Structure 1
Amino acid sequence: MSGMKIAVVGASGRMGRMIIESILQDGEATLVSAIEQPGTGAIGKDAGELVGTPCGVPVSIDAEAGIAQADCLIDFTRPEGTLEHLAICRRHKVAIVIGTTGFNDEGKKAIADAALEIPVVFAPNMSVGVNAVFKLLDTATRILAEGYDIEIVEAHHKHKIDAPSGTALRMGEVVARALGRDLKTSAVYGREGVTGERDPATIGFATVRGGDIVGDHTVMYCGTGERVEISHKAGSRMPYALGSLRAARFLADKTSGLFDMQDVLGLR
């Protein structure tokens, strides 16, 4: 929506800078505040200078004031910080797009409770391509439900703090739902030593961390004499930033509700 006012937290981080860049290039949205933690070197600097495009919005530590003046907050930080920002959004009736991963059940419940009062897009991956993959996985899993072992392999940069990734877990949830299973009882997150023969009812996860890998995800359907793989590989963080901006626009006419990128993209 033209003139939509957006606040960004974690402004000087890898995702924060990418989101700021996407907003400044958008032409329809407006960056009204850029927020960082105290002690960050970017405090007081022009947020646009972080991406080479000065915009007159200084990076601030005042989350309350920064969020209050926005129509929507975009948050790709950490669970504890996101929940604090969510409470501010709730107080000021500001929409929020949450790309943060690693929430426990209590955190997820807090997000669902807030969505009763404000509009929320909460998704483990904002990429349009990844969300297309989620749709493909549902179809593939129903076709390959018998005679195929399903394994999910993901790789990310060395700085990522949670594992498996939120995207890998969502892939597992999509697969489990299509199979009529519960991921909590089907998932195997690590194998070591003499593990015995693979249980065909399980969904396996493998995690790689290293270097500057943005994000690679592959779901493998391993059958007898053949293997089907559905993969997504991110070359930069820009798809996540563009997706989050698309999600913010989706919330522009909403007053409350909990949504994900499948809703944003009309894939339900």
Structure 2
Amino acid sequence: MTTIGIIGSKGRMGQALQQAIADAGHDYAGGADQGDDVGALAAKADVLVDFSAPAALSHNLDAAIKAGIPIVIGTTGLENSHHTAIDAAAQTIAVLQTGNTSLGVTLLAHLVEEASSKLGDEWDIEIVEMHHRMKVDAPSGTALLLGEAAAEGRSIDLAINSERGRDGQTGAREQGAIGFASLRGGTAAGDHSVTFAGNEERITLTHNAENRMIFARGAVKAAEWLAGKGAGRYSMQDVLDLD
């Protein structure tokens, strides 16, 4: 049994996490939201799960370090500075950061990396994602996770090999680029497709999220796995032992 604290407990994911913690038979240490004392929550928990906001990440990492407990970070919209802070924290505590806590998406990313490594750059890679109208960042953290998997398979840098937001006279597609398209509308929990388009043939790998409980259950699985781990930076692929 693991005692889990939630940062961002009043949000949609925070509420789903509380249900997933109860369903899994773990203890809920309580939640911390904007203006609350994360340090006090960390003192009561075996592990923290953070689904709050990028601006709060540094403070949340500091609280986990001070308490000497692991932290699962599912917050999306992170920038390079946030990843630098995560790398620094991982020198002291166990940190699992991911753009998506779904076990299905984790397996999808593994398959994308494998396909990308086997197919040459004459196969164009396009990633399409759709989320509910209230989502504020694009491309989604999951789309970027899948893009990183594709780039890893080809041993290239995603940052300089991606195409986004095409509009107007964009010119021909760059060979080897990884394309992104973001759709927003309705109440979609999250749909992601990765298409490998070759000459006269296509392969499409797809994951459809029907309810955000899949992310909550995956996050609880990650927290359960991370509890007691030594310092280091981990991923959902570690949870499924895919590396």
Aligned residues: 243
Q: 2:162 aligned with 1:187, yes or no?
A: yes
Aligned: 1:26 with 2:31: no
Preserved contact between residue 68 and residue 93 of structure 2 (Cα < 8 Å): yes
* Greater shift in the superposed pair: 192-201 or 138-147: 138-147
CA contact (8 A) 2:128 2:181 kept: yes
User: Partner amino acid for 1:259?
Assistant: Y
TM-score, normalised with respect to structure 1: 0.87
- 2:121–2:175 contact (8 Å) kept in structure 1: no
The structure 1 residue matched to 2:139, chosen from 164, 189, 198, is 164
Question: How far did residue 83 of structure 1 move?
Answer: 2.3
1:20 partner amino acid? Q
Residue 31 of structure 1 deviates from its aligned partner by 0.3
- The CA distance in 1 between the partners of 2:230 and 2:197, in whole Å, is 45
- Aligned partners of 1:33 and 1:67 also within 8 Å: no
SS of the counterpart of 1:253? coil
Match of 2:99 among 111, 124, 149: 124
Larger Rg: 1
1:141-220 matches, cutoff 5 A = 141-220=116-195
Match of 1:9 in 2: 7
Normalization by structure 2: what TM-score? 0.96
Q: Is the 8 A contact 2:126 2:195 kept in 1?
A: yes
Report how far residue 250 of structure 1 moved: 1.3
Question: What residue identity is the alignment partner of 1:126?
Answer: T
Q: Tell me: CA distance 1:177–1:255, structure 2 relative to 1, closer, same or farther (3 Å).
A: closer
* 1:87 pairs with 2:84: no
Aligned to 2:111: 136
The one-letter code matched in structure 2 to 1:233 is: N
Look up the match of 2:201.
226
Deviations 1:2-22 (A, max 9, x none): 2x1111121121100000001
Query: Within 1, Cα distance between the matches of 2:3 and 2:19?
Result: 15
After superposition, the C-alpha distances for 1:111-156 in whole angstroms (9 at most, x for unaligned) are: 1111111111111111110011011112211232243211111111
Q: Whole-Å Cα distance in 1 between the matches of residues 7 and 156 of structure 2?
A: 37
Q: Distance in 2 between matches of 1:113 and 1:260?
A: 16
From 102, 107, 130, give the equivalent of 2:77: 102
Residue by residue over 1:202-243, the C-alpha shift from the partner in whole angstroms, topping out at 9 and shown as x without a partner, is 111101111211111101111222221001110011111111
CA distance in structure 2 between the aligned counterparts of 1:193 and 1:204, rounded to whole angstroms: 16
Within the candidate set 32, 35, 39, 1:35 is matched to: 32
Give the aligned residue type for 2:229.
K
Q: Tell me which residue corresponds to 1:44.
A: none
> Is residue 121–residue 258 contact of structure 1 (8 Å, CA) maintained in 2?
yes
How far residue 255 of structure 1 moved from its aligned partner, in angstroms, is 3.0
Structure 2 unaligned regions, length at least 5: none
Counterpart residue identity of residue 248, structure 1: A
- Once residues 152 and 232 of structure 2 are traced to their aligned partners in structure 1, the CA distance between those partners, rounded to angstroms, is 22
Partner AA of 2:86 in structure 1: I
Give aligned-pair identity as a percent: 41
- Structure 1 unaligned blocks of 5 or more: 39-60
Alignment check: 8 A CA contact 1:73 1:95 kept: yes
